[in-house]
Amino acid sequence: MTRIDAKFAALQAEGKKAFVAYIMAGDPDYATSLEVLKGLPAAGVDIIELGQPFTDPMADGPTIQLAGQRALDGGQTLQKTLDMATEFRKTDDTTPIVLMGYYNPIFSRGVEKFLVDAKAAGIDGLIVVDLPPEEDDELCIPAQKAGLNFIRLATPTTDDERLPTVLQNTSGFVYYVSITGITGAAAAQAADVAPEVARIKAKTDLPVIVGFGIRTPETSQSIASVADGCVVGSAIVGELASGKSVPEVLAFVKSLADGAHRA
């Protein structure tokens, strides 16, 4: 059982929904992002998504793209992202960390070496947005064998014919993208999301977490109420980009987490 599996089991026992927070590693700089990372659990975050910056982030909107560029300009590398996880694990051995990004940095490092290093750093799962199920032998299956969850995205365009393929080797949870398009775009609507979550849950026992388009405690609550939890990324990254202090950013995160936990 991974930390992700254990976290969902604990939340289910408490009758609570999950709040997942995304930050970009190295944004606005290494020290600040590490401070935010370490503060997320106390702000109510159940699972952390740690973004690995990449030069061509095709699935991301302007907010995440700019965060990635700032991180890269500041010298953030895959090794430094793993170093952040290692530092985090010195004081927190229970909060799951999902590394989210693109395949190129992993491929460049070498899959085998990457999996050994990620596991040693305390990474629990991977979301690699540009590796479709047809490429599962490339990273997904080796990752699962190494004890890492491989989390897949389902979208409004994932029809009933495609869904079983998407779910086939997925573990940890299913990330449902609430809107068609890039991160940070339109607002998510619970009325639209609810039937889609039900459709996915009819095909899998995995938790379904909804992301994209969640910026307020109210939306966090309404989306979490129709799923197993919600993810917020762009809104948190935007707070950092606006020059807010770490305590201010973490207070904002706590308001979103409280919303999800009220669901």
Q: Look up residue 115 and give its DSSP letter.
A: H
Q: Look up residue 138 and give its DSSP letter.
A: T
Q: How confident is the model at residue 181, as a pLDDT? A: 64
Q: Is the dihedral of CA 81, 4, 130, 60 positive or negative?
A: negative
Report all structural domains of the chain as residue ranges with CATH numbers, in order of start.
Answer: 3-262 (3.20.20.70)
Q: Kindly give the pairing relationship between strand 152-154 and strand 97-101.
A: unpaired
**What's the CA gap between 146 and 112, in Å, rounded?**
9
The string of pLDDT tens digits covering residues 159-187 is 999 999 999 999 999 999 998 765 655 67
- What percent of the chain lies above the pLDDT cut of 90? 91
Q: Look up residue 42 and give its DSSP letter.
A: G
Q: Which residues pair with 211 in a beta bridge?
A: 177
Confidence of residue 222 (pLDDT cuts 50, 70, 90): very high
**58: burial class by Cβ within 10 Å (0-12, 13-18, 19+)?**
exposed
* Tokens of residue 153, six digits: 């995205």
**What's the CA gap between 64 and 87, in Å, rounded?**
23
The string of pLDDT tens digits covering residues 107-149 is 999 999 999 999 999 999 999 999 999 999 999 999 999 999 9
The residues annotated as belonging to the active site are 49, 60
Q: Kindly give the pairing relationship between strand 152-154 and strand 47-51.
A: unpaired
Q: Kindly give the pairing relationship between strand 125-128 and strand 149-150.
A: parallel
Sheet holding 208-211, edge to edge: 149-150, 125-128, 97-101, 47-51, 18-24, 229-232, 208-211, 174-177, 152-154
| Distances from the Cα of 80 to the Cα of 3, 77, 151, 174, angstroms | 22, 5, 22, 27
Q: Supply φ then ψ for residue 225, to 5 degrees.
A: -70, -20
pTM: 0.96
**What's the CA gap between 20 and 17, in Å, rounded?**
10
